[in-house]
């Protein structure tokens, strides 16, 4: 009996020792080098913000802003907190920089982080590559302007293969270009697997607090996904929004407020005086050769309405005084108050179609924004341009009528192509001045009508992606 007791005692001591030295439970397998915050909790927290009410979609993401976005979406905590002499301890971005750098997602050089520099597409790819699942590293996509010797070659190839980044219309990646804020929203949404609910957004227009991001902007939905915290569920693979937080009051997001895009000197010193006893109706009104937008009898000033920016005197402006003068002269010469809206659209369409020739110019990549004024001014000054020049000019002429026109970059006839779309009476219509020019003036074929086309009934096949 004593021998049996001794044997049991030995056995228990061995088991106890084993229990003290063995891990309590195996650590969960990691999905990626750096873990993301789970997105299946029913709440999608915002990871981008504006500044003083503006989102500035066309501006490049700064390195500080990239660090803030990375910090907002990552679940891991860094083991170190690197310090940089150009990142003050009390800067709004200091904690995010320490986290991003501590996780190895970003780095500095010679003790400097360069927080206010633009984050290049290559730098963004290098950071995001470390957030991809391990099993996403089996494929690669290459670009002619990213040779194998490029420092970020592997990161660019992997993130592009995963669908985060895309090249331009010519297949180039442009690794040293900055990533625009609107593009960053789309890229991070792809990373997180978040897809905005277009139906919810269309019925809750008050969610947008950014006057420089109209609903017609190509990245409007992606920006709302990134900048509005919302509760959602998944239904058949689709993200369905249930509710969304109300927009917060505008707060400066940067230590120094970035300058707004330059606004040209107004042609006239002040908004036009109304005739005594007459109040102009709400909406767009052309007065004395300029476009204004009236609300309650007064022109709006220093803000955007329906994607149109009105300066401090209430005048609509493209941001270029020379271009404003040319566009207004054309509209004043070709249109008058006796014409219907569609008659004005048609006469401006015919003007662009019949008075210019084709000239090969750089292609515009999908997602590129803010290019229209440059292409339109070159077109008007030189009388020549490509499809993007035709579409930019017609788009800006339509905006001089107070219409929410926007350009679309896609393809037609199996080639990269650009055209104009306008929401009229609740429906989207397409306008393609350059393709009608080509059929009529280049190929001598009449009967092809590219004016006010319904997207489901076009003379040729268009592709939006």
Q: 335 pLDDT band (50/70/90 cuts)?
A: very high
Task: Delimit the CATH 2.10.270 region(s) of the chain.
Answer: 264-317
Q: Please, where in the chain does CATH 3.10.620.30 lie?
A: 320-463
Decide if pLDDT at 18 tops 80.
Answer: no
Answer whether residue 260 shows pLDDT above 50. Answer: no
In this predicted structure, the answer to whether residue 4 has a pLDDT above a threshold of 80 is: no
Q: What is the mean pLDDT of residues 110-136?
A: 91
Q: Which of 11-15, 417-421, 452-456 has the lowest mean pLDDT?
A: 11-15
Most confidently predicted of 174-188, 210-224, 236-250, 263-277? 174-188
Rounded to whole angstroms, the Cα distance separating 173 from 156 reads 9
Q: With bands split at pLDDT 50, 70 and 90, how would you rate the model's confidence at 279?
A: low
Average pLDDT over residues 442-464: 90
In this model, does residue 30 exceed pLDDT 80?
Answer: no
Q: How far apart are CA 433 and CA 450, in angstroms?
A: 7
- For residue 191, what pLDDT band results from cuts at 50, 70 and 90? very high
Q: Which residues contact 72 (CB under 8 A, 6 or more apart)?
A: 45, 46, 47, 96
CB contact burial 79-93 (16+ within 10 A = b; e otherwise): eeebebeebeeeeeb
2 pLDDT higher than 80: no
Taking the domain 264-317, which CATH number applies?
Answer: 2.10.270
Please provide residue 246's backbone torsions phi and psi, each rounded to the nearest 5 degrees.
-65, 145
- Reply yes or no on whether the pLDDT at 269 is more than 80: no
Q: What number is the average pLDDT over the span 193-212?
A: 82
Mean pLDDT to the nearest integer, 26-35: 67
Mean pLDDT of the chain: 83
pLDDT-derived band of residue 464, with 50, 70 and 90 as boundaries? confident
Report the pLDDT averaged over residues 291-303.
87
Per residue in 398-448, pLDDT (tens digit) is 999 999 899 999 999 888 999 999 988 888 899 999 999 999 998 888 889
Residue that wins the pLDDT comparison between 295 and 259:
295
- pLDDT at position 301 over 60: yes
Confidence grade of residue 80 (pLDDT, cut at 50, 70, 90): confident
341-357 pLDDT per residue, tens: 999 999 999 999 999 99
For the segment 11-19, the average pLDDT, to the nearest whole number, is 38
Q: State residue 21's pLDDT score.
A: 36
> With contact defined as beta carbons under 8 Å apart, do 436 and 353 qualify?
yes
Residue 151 CA to residue 99 CA, distance in Å, equals 23
Of 87, 146, 85, give the one whose Cα is nearest residue 116: 87
SS (H, E, C) 3-26: HHHHHHHHHHHHHHHHHHHCCCCC
C-alpha distances (whole Å) from 360 to each of 9, 81, 363, 379, 389 are 90, 51, 9, 11, 10
Q: HSE of 449 in the Cβ direction (CA atoms, 13 Å)?
A: 8
CB atoms within 10 A of CB 17: 10
pLDDT at 271 > cutoff 60: no
- Give the confidence band of 465 by pLDDT, cuts at 50, 70, 90: low
Lowest mean pLDDT among 27-41, 159-173, 405-419: 27-41
Burial of 121 (0-12, 13-18, 19+ CB in 10 A): buried
Averaged pLDDT for residues 73-98: 90
Q: Hey, what CATH topology would domain 320-463 get? A: C8orf32 fold (3.10.620)
pLDDT of residue 104: 93
Measure the CA–CA gap between 442 and 437, rounded to whole angstroms.
7
Residues 222-242 have a mean pLDDT of 88
Task: Identify the pLDDT of residue 307.
Answer: 77
Q: What is residue 10's predicted lDDT score, i.e. its pLDDT?
A: 39
CA 233 to chain centre: 24
Strand partners, 406: 421
List, as one string, the DSSP characters of 118-157: BPBHHHHHHHHHTTS-GGG-S-----TTS-TTSTTHHHHH
Considering only residues 457 and 202, tell me which one the structure prediction assigns the higher pLDDT. 457
- At 356 the pLDDT is 94
Paired strand residues for 423: 428
Q: Which pLDDT score is estimated for 29? A: 54
Mean pLDDT (whole number) for 360-383: 89
Average pLDDT over every residue of 155-184: 90
Among 23-37, 172-186, 281-295, the range scoring the smallest mean pLDDT is 23-37
Distance separating alpha carbons of residues 455 and 144, to the nearest angstrom:
34
Enumerate residues 6+ apart whose C-beta is below 8 A from 391: 407, 408, 418, 419, 420, 432, 433, 434
CB neighbour burial string for 57-69, b if at least 16 within 10 angstroms, e if fewer: bbbbbbbbbbbbb
Burial class, 303, CB count within 10 angstroms (exposed 0-12 / middle 13-18 / buried 19+): middle
Would you call 435 exposed, middle or buried from its count of C-beta atoms within 10 A (0-12, 13-18, 19+)?
A: buried
Q: Out of 26-30, 66-70, 261-265, 395-399, which region has the weakest mean confidence (pLDDT)?
A: 261-265
Residues pairing with 230 in the sheet: 44, 244
Return the pLDDT at 252: 38
């Amino acid at each position: 009996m004593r021998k049996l007791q001794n044997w049991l005692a030995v056995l228990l001591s061995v088991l106890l020792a084993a229990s003290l030295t063995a891990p309590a439970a195996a650590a969960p397998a990691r999905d990626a080098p750096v873990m993301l915050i789970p997105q299946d909790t029913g709440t999608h927290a915002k990871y981008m913000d504006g500044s003083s009410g503006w989102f500035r979609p066309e501006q490049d993401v700064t390195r500080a802003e990239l660090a803030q976005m990375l910090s907002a979406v990552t679940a891991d905590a860094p083991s170190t907190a690197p310090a940089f002499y150009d990142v003050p301890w009390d800067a709004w971005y200091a904690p995010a920089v320490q986290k991003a750098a501590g996780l190895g997602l970003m780095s500095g050089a010679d003790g400097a982080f360069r927080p206010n520099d633009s984050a290049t597409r290559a730098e963004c790819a290098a950071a995001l590559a470390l957030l991809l699942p391990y099993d996403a590293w089996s494929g690669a996509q290459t670009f002619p302007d990213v040779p194998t010797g490029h420092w970020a070659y592997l990161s660019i190839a992997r993130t592009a293969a995963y669908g985060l980044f895309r090249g331009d219309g010519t297949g180039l990646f442009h690794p040293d270009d900055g990533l625009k804020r609107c593009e960053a929203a789309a890229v991070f949404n792809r990373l997180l697997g978040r897809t905005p609910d277009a139906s919810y957004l269309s019925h809750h227009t008050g969610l947008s607090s950014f006057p420089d991001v109209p609903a017609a902007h190509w990245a409007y939905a992606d920006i709302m996904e990134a900048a509005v915290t919302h509760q959602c569920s998944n239904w058949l693979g689709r993200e369905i929004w249930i509710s969304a937080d109300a927009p917060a009051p505008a707060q400066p997001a940067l230590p120094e407020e970035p300058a707004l895009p330059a606004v040209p000197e107004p042609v006239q010193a002040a908004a036009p005086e109304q005739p005594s006893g007459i109040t102009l109706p709400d909406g767009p009104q052309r007065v004395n050769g300029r476009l204004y937008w009236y609300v309650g009898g007064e022109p709006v000033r220093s803000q955007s309405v329906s994607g149109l920016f009105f300066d401090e005197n209430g005048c609509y402006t493209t941001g270029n005084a020379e271009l404003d003068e040319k566009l207004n002269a054309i509209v004043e010469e070709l249109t008058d108050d006796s014409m219907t809206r569609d008659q004005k659209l048609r006469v401006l369409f015919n003007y662009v179609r019949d008075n210019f020739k084709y000239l090969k110019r750089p292609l515009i990549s999908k997602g590129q924004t803010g290019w229209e004024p440059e292409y339109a001014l070159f077109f008007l000054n030189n009388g020549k341009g490509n499809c993007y020049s035709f579409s930019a000019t017609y788009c800006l002429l339509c905006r001089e009528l107070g219409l929410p026109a926007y350009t679309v970059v896609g393809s037609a006839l199996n080639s990269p192509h650009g055209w104009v779309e306008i929401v009229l009476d609740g429906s989207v219509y397409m306008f393609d001045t350059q393709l009608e020019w080509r059929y009529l003036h280049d190929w001598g074929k009449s009967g092809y009508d590219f004016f006010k086309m319904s997207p489901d009934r076009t003379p040729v096949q268009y592709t939006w992606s």
